[in-house]
Amino acid sequence: MKYCSQCGAEIVVRIPDDDNRERHVCSSCDTVHYQNPKIVAGCIPAWEDKVLLCRRAIEPRHGFWTLPAGFMELGETSLEAAVRETLEEANARVDIQDLYMVINLPHVDQVYMMFRSRLLDTEFHPGSESQEVGLFTQEEIPWDTLAFATIRETLRYYYEDVREGAFRTRAGDILRNENGYRFILHSGDRS
Amino acid sequence: MKYCSQCGAEIVVRIPDDDNRERHVCSSCDTVHYQNPKIVAGCIPAWEDKVLLCRRAIEPRHGFWTLPAGFMELGETSLEAAVRETLEEANARVDIQDLYMVINLPHVDQVYMMFRSRLLDTEFHPGSESQEVGLFTQEEIPWDTLAFATIRETLRYYYEDVREGAFRTRAGDILRNENGYRFILHSGDRS
């Protein structure tokens, strides 16, 4: 960020008077341009004992498999965002059930919100951001070519809950380290 | 948004080639300036049968009571944001328990994430954004002068769960209408 989006003057990085951290502030009109984490909303579309996955046609992780998910837009709820992303990426219609996983990714300033959902029919086909869309049983899931750690953790807990016969909402963090990442569950595990 | 924060040229509102909705796009360097909902993270600090509330010293809702909560910052998790906001607004130290409420507010492009927490001691005092901080039993809560619908719904479910003796994570929407608002729970209720 170099220029003020309100007046076009140059931006300086400084701590505003009533604040305690550095912000991008306009050198002319003093507008403070806050930056905040973004929400990625998506779902686990279930059909019998299978889930729908999309093979990515875009970067990052082109060619890898993912659950339908994407950035939440202004004016919508996280549930609406999950439904829209599933339609855009897989042309698939879902009935959203519970909020299932909330995962913080502080190294990329994202928070994932993944819902459980029921696929309403099997008339899906790849949207422009997917090269392939398909249904997978637990054994068929391409665990080694999943696109993101968030997707791996969501599916891992999902099948753990399928086995237990009960689903619960979980929240946790994915923290990058030298070996890849660490997943820290801080809410929702069995007590 | 009038000027490009990357190059300072004028912004136009148009649908980019590979997109399906209007964005703020630079007329010179073509940078797309996406805007997304923000996360407000906070908690219910519990001490025996009481919860900690803060009386707001800032707008909006100056003078009204709220649970400690505020915008999540870059580089932190929602749990860390809730702890930080509680320290800033009430100088109170908490041990975060479960994620408790996730509430979409599409009319203001916010998503609230409220956690249950245990207050670690009673050495709290108002931060710069609060004029008063105190502990309240369910009967003492100033229900008529709570600052936000999110706080009212969170406390309402909290005491319902206290009575039931079991807490569960819930997700829902607060939708504005001519009579005020409607709360739609879409996840986590008793079945």
Taking only residues 139 to 158 of chain A, the set having a beta carbon closer than 8 angstroms to any beta carbon of chain B reads: none
Please indicate whether, in this complex, the C-beta atoms of B4 and A3 are within 8 angstroms of each other.
yes
d(CA B148, CA A112): 25
Name residues whose C-beta falls within 8 Å of residue B53's C-beta, 6 or more positions apart in sequence. Answer: B65, B66, B67, B133, B134, B135, B136, B141, B142
On whether ipTM exceeds 0.90, the answer is: yes
A179 touches chain B (CB under 8 A): no
The residue in chain A having the minimum alpha-carbon distance to the alpha carbon of residue B12 is A5
Q: Tell me what pLDDT residue A174 has.
A: 97
d(CA A7, CA A28): 8
Instruction: Convert the pLDDT of each residue in A127-143 to its tens digit.
Output: 999 999 999 999 999 99
- Tokens for B177? 């209408």
B174 touches chain A (CB under 8 A): no
B173 touches chain A (CB under 8 A): yes
Mean pLDDT of A135-161: 97
A173 touches chain B (CB under 8 A): yes
Q: Tell me what pLDDT residue B189 has.
A: 66
* Torsion sign, CA atoms A131, A133, A134, A137: positive
d(CA A130, CA A105): 23
No. of H helices and E strands in chain B? 2, 12
The one-character DSSP state at A128 is: T
Mean pLDDT of A32-55: 98
The one-character DSSP state at A58 is: S
B87 touches chain A (CB under 8 A): no
Of A5, A38, A109, the CB nearest to B75: A109
Q: Under DSSP, is residue A46 helix (H, G, I), strand (E, B) or coil?
A: strand
Residues of A in contact with B1 (CB under 8 A): 5-6
Of A8, A72, A171, the CB nearest to B36: A72
Please indicate whether, in this complex, the C-beta atoms of B3 and A2 are within 8 angstroms of each other.
no
**Is residue A56 very low, low, confident or very high in pLDDT (cuts 50, 70, 90)?**
very high
d(CA A173, CA A11): 33
Residues of B in contact with A7 (CB under 8 A): 2-3
The reported pTM is 0.96
Q: Tell me what pLDDT residue A191 has.
A: 44
Kindly report the number of other CB atoms within 10 A of residue B128's CB atom. 11
**Is residue A190 very low, low, confident or very high in pLDDT (cuts 50, 70, 90)?**
low
B13 touches chain A (CB under 8 A): no
d(CA A152, CA A175): 14
Q: Tell me what pLDDT residue B179 has.
A: 85
The residue in chain B having the minimum alpha-carbon distance to the alpha carbon of residue A97 is B187
pLDDT, one tens digit for every residue, chain B (191 residues): 999 999 999 999 999 998 999 999 999 999 999 999 999 999 999 999 999 999 999 999 999 999 999 999 999 999 999 999 999 999 999 999 999 999 999 999 999 999 999 999 999 999 999 999 999 999 999 999 999 999 999 999 999 999 999 999 999 999 999 889 999 998 776 54
Q: Tell me what pLDDT residue B191 has.
A: 44
The residue in chain A having the minimum alpha-carbon distance to the alpha carbon of residue B10 is A8
Of B5, B77, B111, the CB nearest to A2: B5
Please indicate whether, in this complex, the C-beta atoms of B102 and A98 are within 8 angstroms of each other.
no
- Domains defined along chain B, listed by start: 1-35 (2.20.70.10), 38-187 (3.90.79.10)
Taking only residues 27 to 46 of chain A, the set having a beta carbon closer than 8 angstroms to any beta carbon of chain B reads: 33-39
Please indicate whether, in this complex, the C-beta atoms of A2 and B18 are within 8 angstroms of each other.
no
